[in-house]
Structure 1
Amino acid sequence: MTITMRNIFLALLVTGFFVLNGCGDAPQEASAAEHGMTEDTIDEEVTSSSEKKDRPRIVFFGNSLTAGYGLDEQYSFPSQIQHKIDSLGYNYEVVNAGLSGETTAGGRNRIDWVMEQPMEVFVLELGGNDVLRGFELTATRENLAAILDAVRNKYPEVKLVLAGMEAPPNMGEAYTQEFREIYQELAVEKKTALIPFLLADVGGIKELNLPDRIHPNKDGQVIVANNVWQVLAPLLEKR
């Protein structure tokens, strides 16, 4: 992304807001006989389901960018990553733990719940909403560090990935630089893989974002997924 495009995107962030909405109905059950299922086919279904549950988990933990704001979940970049994993013969389950409006403080409070299930890879995408609300960056850094520490303490072998973000230029050059350096420094300090800028080649580009000019649309999500995949893929193993 050019500096001009990045600045356009960052300026647009100032007017951003985040909303989470979801609903769904459980499908009605049908008998095995109605579907022509035998005991053998039922056993196969149970085995397949069990294998899926036993797959190592990749947890994406973030805000509306991770949640796929404004789109069906299938178009979110974590879902795009699941498609890549399945098509390339990897055996991982992607978990989208994105929550619209989430701050680093909120993520720090929520992380224990997310860690109830084992994980092999943890991708942390938070911080953008801290900037929008003008939070002190010392608190942002402490919260991000605490989340990474909590995950590693619970699962010592976990592979950590940190998704970098950018602050809008109206916050001032010093603030913008300090915010960028949080991710760079934490990646070294906590020994995590780093995505330099999650929205590279997407932020500020009208055709790749929803009408709010902040959240990626379907095409933008594909590019974001590629940004993530470049860093994530070397951490995965084919099984």
Structure 2
Amino acid sequence: MLKTKTRLLVISGFIFALALCLFSFSPHSQATETTTVLTLGDSITHGYPYIDTSYTYPAQLSGMLGTTSSYYIYNVSNHGVSGYRADQVLASLQSQDWLAENPSYVLLMVGGNDLAQEISPDLSNISAVLDQTVSEVQQIVDYVKAHQNADGSTPTVILSAYPPNNLYGPGGSLVINEYNTRLANNITGHDHWFTTNWDDLYDSETGQAKTSLMTNDAAHPNTDGYAVIANNWYEIMYPLLPNDPDDPNPKNPDDPIPPVDPTTPPLSDNLDPKIITTSGPGATTRLQAYERHGNAEGSEITNLFPDSYTGGAGIVAIDANNNYIKDQFLVFALENGGPQARVFGLRDNGEMVFQGQMFVFDETIRDGLSMTVGDFDQDGFEDDVAACLTGDKAPTIKVYTNAIGVDNWQKVSEFTANFGAVGCNLGTYQYGDQTPRLLVTPHHGPADPKVYIYETDGTLERSFTAYGAGVTNGLTASGIQDRIYTTPNNGTSHVMVFDEAGTAKNFWWAYDNMNVKGDFKNVAGDIDLDGKDEILISPIGANGPQVLSFEASGKWRTWPNFFAFGDPSLRNGVGIAVIENYHGEN
């Protein structure tokens, strides 16, 4: 999948680094070769103020590289030191022998602290400082290029421009621009010059960094800023990495992040996956089924709830028939409806069949519901449900088993999560062969952007923070294999990925345009019958009702990719679920 050699050195100075350790993904051959990545620089590389967390850009870059290969293991070693100037990076490189780690690539990013010493309080010496700093950067490049790794290779040097900040106003930005110009015009011996990675950080109107991506100190990125930096480093590095020895389709270096265009496996005798969409608030409820490429199948169904109800419908796949296949679906009110959940099946001709219903809270309540499905009683069937109200209520969760039939589901537990009266969203997560866990998150704000992992009896196993302090309006969490996926409410389409301990392992944006904001929901399902779940993302109140799909690694898939109900102008969102349609059972 990649091309060049196998180690990597990132020298980054006063630049904005990104972070969130992303996860390894091994689809083909067993990894047999390790690629070392060294990062050198100042506090931006170090990751201030998130030092030693998964929010630093080297940590995030490590995870992203890990998704690219089943043969190479990428090891990113962060040697950023807060406060370092270019001469100090050079001195440490020489005295501490970091090159003994045999890097194949050097990403060099340094100079911010050198300039800061002269920008404030006096610019009179700035020209001499610029000359001196450029000279020291040249010495770093020369020193690295003179090194020979144990296998006889020479590290590839990628020289980066220094990113914008807001510390010294427009005057400081002009100095940074001049420094970058001198780097581009005078440094020799490096293999790549890198500037485009800072375009997403730069505000063309102010000539400085975007304030939304900076911490209050005006010099360092916030978590969103570090994520931008990591993503852009990944884009510049991707075409330089080596292809796996057994990869029959090596990537095109001119298309550094190609979408996944999966083949279409034949349908099995029993399984024919369907994507089911339901309409959002503001109109009578509708349901439409789509085949796995996103083409509508059957007629639109409009009798989920009475026509007088316009609060929208949520939907989750369920195995109500106990045939080990989630070929039915659970629907429920999203806003201002009664707390009634209904189970339906879908025949292969598009006909819907009623299977059961239950008031999961007091039937007099008029609120919305969030629901999830799992094998909570460990009988082998994913026919159990958990429910929570979504309005300005305490986040009380009720768990029921055997969700089929009318008003006879068995409530087995009830508990209240330990955050405020902001309702909750529910998801399910199962690690290995353990009992499924409930992922509980605030439905809206104000609330901390945390994921709470509960056992179904109400025992809190752990919690972790999924986003920076700016995300306060709730989030959605879902789980597949050994990963937890989150999307924010009233934010960008920023998908975060965590392991069961809450350590960030990956991230991406569902939309390239990070100005697209709204509520973003994510669900999992095996659309292409390859034995692995994909991630479906749908927006509410942002773009139209576009259903996007991604591999678990975050790579965008070319299918399915469609607008629900065939109307890109809708802005009230859609519910989505993947059912494993079983012909003849419904």
Match for 2:213 among 182, 193, 208?
208
For residues 1-33 of structure 1, the C-alpha deviation after alignment (integer angstroms, 9 at most, x for no partner) is xxxxxxxxxxxxxxx9xxxxxxxxxxxxxxxxx
Match of 1:43 in 2: none
1:27-62 Cα distance to aligned partner (Å, 9 max, x none): xxxxxxxxxxxxxxxxxxxxx9xx89x612121111
- Bigger RCO (CA 8 Å, 6+ sep): 1
Q: 1:172 to 1:207 in 2, by over 3 A?
A: closer
For 1:157, the equivalent position in structure 2 comes to 154
Q: Does 1:125 align with 2:124?
A: no
Q: Which residue of 2 aligns with 1:145?
A: 138
Q: What's the offset of the Cα at 1:152?
A: 0.8
1:124-168 CA-to-partner distances (Å, cap 9, x unmatched) read 111011110126111101110101111110135211111101586
Alignment of 1:61-210 (within 5 A): 61-71=40-50, 72-89=52-69, 90-112=72-94, 113=96, 114-134=98-118, 136-155=129-148, 157-165=154-162, 169-170=170-171, 175-186=175-186, 189-196=188-195, 199-202=198-201, 204-210=209-215
Instruction: Give the letter for the 2:182 counterpart.
Output: I
Per-residue deviation, 1:238: 3.5
Which structure is larger by alpha-carbon Rg, 1 or 2?
Answer: 2
Deviation at residue 207 of structure 1 after TM alignment: 2.5
Partner Cα separation in structure 2 for residue 98 and residue 220 of structure 1: 17
**TM-score computed with the length of structure 1 as normaliser:** 0.69
After alignment, is 86-95 or 99-108 more displaced?
A: 86-95
Q: Given the superposition, is the C-alpha separation of residues 139 and 233 from structure 1 closer, same or farther in structure 2, using an over 3 Å criterion?
A: same
What letter corresponds to residue 91 of structure 2 in structure 1?
A: N
Q: Distance in 1 between matches of 2:92 and 2:214?
A: 28
> What residue in structure 1 maps to residue 35 of structure 2?
56
* Separation (CA, whole Å) in 2 of partners of 1:129 and 1:198: 20
* Range with bigger deviation, 138-147 or 116-125: 116-125
Task: Summarize the Cα distance change of 1:100–1:200 in structure 2 as closer, same or farther, 3 Å threshold.
Answer: farther
1:225 aligns with 2:230: yes
CA pair 172-238 structure 1, distance change in 2 beyond 3 A: closer
Q: Percent identity?
A: 23
Q: What secondary structure, in the 3-state scheme, does the structure 1 residue paired with 2:107 have?
A: strand
Q: Distance in 1 between matches of 2:173 and 2:35?
A: 42
Given residue 230 of structure 1, which amino acid in structure 2 is its aligned partner? Answer: E
Compute the displacement of 1:176 (Å).
Answer: 4.9
TM-score by length of 2: 0.30
Tell me how far apart the structure 1 counterparts of residues 45 and 100 of structure 2 sit (CA, whole Å).
20
**Cα offsets for 1:68-98 (capped at 9, x unmatched):** 1011431111111111111222532111111
Q: Structure 1 residues 191 and 105 mapped into 2: Cα distance closer, same or farther (>3 Å)?
A: closer
Query: How many Å separate the matches in 1 of 2:56 and 2:81?
Result: 12
Instruction: Return the offset for 1:100.
Output: 0.5
Per the alignment, in what secondary structure is the counterpart of residue 146 of structure 2?
helix
- Secondary structure, counterpart of 1:82 in structure 2: helix
Q: Secondary structure at the match of 1:91?
A: strand
Runs (4+) of structure 1 exceeding 6 A deviation are none
Cα distance in 2 for residues equivalent to 1:107 and 1:76: 19
Post-superposition shift, 1:108?
1.3
Amino acid at match of 2:63: H
Cα distance between partner residues in 1 of 2:58 and 2:176? 27
5+ long unaligned stretches in structure 1: 1-15, 17-47
Cα separation, 1, equivalents of 2:173 and 2:56: 31
Q: Distance in 1 between matches of 2:173 and 2:59?
A: 35
> Match for 1:211: what amino acid?
N
Distance 2:214 2:200 in 1: 11
Task: Sort the Cα spacing of 1:186 and 1:75 in 2 relative to 1 into closer, same or farther, 3 A.
Answer: farther
Report the equivalent of 1:13. none
Cα distance, 1:177–1:210 mapped onto 2, change above 3 Å: closer
SS of 1:74's partner is coil
Corresponding residue pairs, total: 188
Distance 2:140 2:230 in 1: 23
Using the alignment, how far apart are the partners of 1:172 and 1:87 within structure 2? 35
Q: How large is the RMSD of aligned CA atoms in angstroms?
A: 2.7
Deviation at 1:213, TM superposition (A): 2.4
Structure 2, unaligned stretches of length 5 or more?
1-13, 15-29, 119-125, 203-208, 245-586
Q: CA deviation at 1:200?
A: 3.3
